Structure 1
């Protein structure tokens, strides 16, 4: 696998950033769970016409994607400790949304 293959996923000609491979599986799984709930929340809120709920669900999606390294700073430019700290901070913030 080339370096580019480790960083990017191409689907239908569009390039998407891959999840940070250094994240422990339990952290990545928790972030993916929040991502799925956020995406589901966006769909549900859009159907209901609730703009505030759409914004809240998109915020959850954004936090999860930042934690996974799919948005924000390129994960390959930072040290593993910084990347893991960013992922755990995203999880903490996502957990606070549930409280």
Structure 2
């Protein structure tokens, strides 16, 4: 989910590690990546995601496995999966509901601001 500027559409946690979609935390890309590298990886991710869609339409199981592996490899290179990119020992809450994490109070404060 690093393909868009998530700060415009989805709230980011105060520590900049996650953005929230429908109450779920999603790990952001490693901020230490250079802009050119990040752009290259995002382009690669979008290509791999399109390949997943094409393989599904074609019912091509081998191609689907390869495309999904490409998505996973690229998301790991972006820092969105695999080992965390921060070094303070904090656990990873990727894909968890914000209300079930230490971000719960912060997330509830956002919900309180909604009309």
Q: Is TM (by shorter chain) over 0.5?
A: yes
- Does 2:31 correspond to 1:21? yes
Structure 1: tracts of 5 or more residues without a match: 79-99
Aligned counterpart for 1:38 among listed residues 48, 57, 70: 48
RMSD: 1.4
State the 1:77 CA deviation.
2.3
Cα distance in 1 for partners of 2:49, 2:74 equals 10
Count of aligned pairs between the two proteins: 76
Number of the residue aligned with 2:14: 2
Counterpart-to-counterpart distance in 1, 2:87 and 2:74: 19
Q: Secondary structure at the match of 1:76?
A: coil
Cα distance between partner residues in 1 of 2:70 and 2:14: 32
Following superposition, the deviation at residue 55 of structure 1 comes to 0.5
Q: Does 1:52 align with 2:52?
A: no
For the pair shown, which has the larger CA radius of gyration, 1 or 2? Answer: 2
- TM-score norm. by structure 1 comes to 0.73
The runs of at least 4 aligned residues of structure 1 exceeding 2 Å deviation read none
Shift of 1:14: 1.1
